Amino acid sequence: MTIHSPPKDWFKWPHGHERLWIGLALVWCLIMFAMMPYWHFNGKQNSTGESYAVEPDAFVERVEQFTAANKVGEDPASGIPIVEPPPGGDAYLLGRMWSWTPTLKLRQGETYRLHISSADLQHGFSLQPMNMNFQVLPGYDHVLTLTPTTTGEFTIVCNEFCGIGHHAMIGKIIVE
């Protein structure tokens, strides 16, 4: 078998229904391209995002200081501290194999700046039952502006496979 060059007149311009389908596909691509920025700004599901470079050890230290300054209790089952940041203030949440710490206690209607990072590897922050998903990477302080609108206990799960204890990586946000 040898490789042959195609004949010089092999290319035929689309005609008839081919032109129609190519035109429809092009229009659909343009619509989808325009929807991405539209949905980002008007869909209210994506963080417009602030993120800062931070050394993982420095972020762990910030979380420990935040926890020590604002601790109001401890989860009896897990021993994870329950922390209540001042309304309108900053709150810190750390993901590491295989836990989210601390448990945050927030007030309905107050706005918080939630700093999230990882101490070790990539985790996924998924707040249930809200449809809020976010990738959490070590070395970055991701800041989400959050205003709880309903009371209750909201579960945080890791939605990025992070190892053998991934299934147990569960945290909590309490809104009162």
Q: Would you say residue 2 lies in a domain? A: no
Same domain, 65 and 28: no
Same domain, 79 and 18: no
Q: Give the total number of structural domains in the chain.
A: 2
Per-residue pLDDT tens digits for 4-58: 888 888 888 998 899 999 999 999 999 999 998 888 788 766 666 788 999 999 9
Same domain, 23 and 77: no
Same domain, 31 and 79: no
Domain boundary among 5, 24, 43: 43
**Mode of pairing for the β-strands spanning 90-96 and 112-118:** parallel
What range defines the domain where residue 33 resides?
14-43
Task: Report angle CA 55, 61, 62 to the nearest 5 degrees.
Answer: 90
The secondary structure of 110-148 as a DSSP string is --EEEEEEESSS-EEEEEETTTEEEEE-BTEEEEEEE--
Q: Would you say residue 87 lies in a domain? A: yes
Give the pLDDT mean for 119-126: 94
Same domain, 36 and 118: no
Distance of CA 19 to the CA centre of its chain: 41
Same domain, 94 and 156: yes
Same domain, 88 and 162: yes
Closest CA to 110 of 90, 132, 133, 125: 90
Q: What is the pTM of this model?
A: 0.74
Q: Would you say residue 8 lies in a domain? A: no
Structure tokens at 150: 């309903």
Same domain, 25 and 61: no
Distance of CA 122 to the CA centre of its chain: 11
Same domain, 61 and 147: yes
Q: Which pLDDT band, with edges at 50, 70 and 90, does 129 fall under?
A: confident
| Residue carrying structure tokens 């836990």 | 99
Q: Which pLDDT band, with edges at 50, 70 and 90, does 77 fall under?
A: confident
Residue 153 confidence (pLDDT): 94
Collapse the DSSP code of 8 into the 3-class scheme (helix H, G, I; strand E, B; otherwise coil) and give the result.
Answer: coil
Same domain, 21 and 77: no
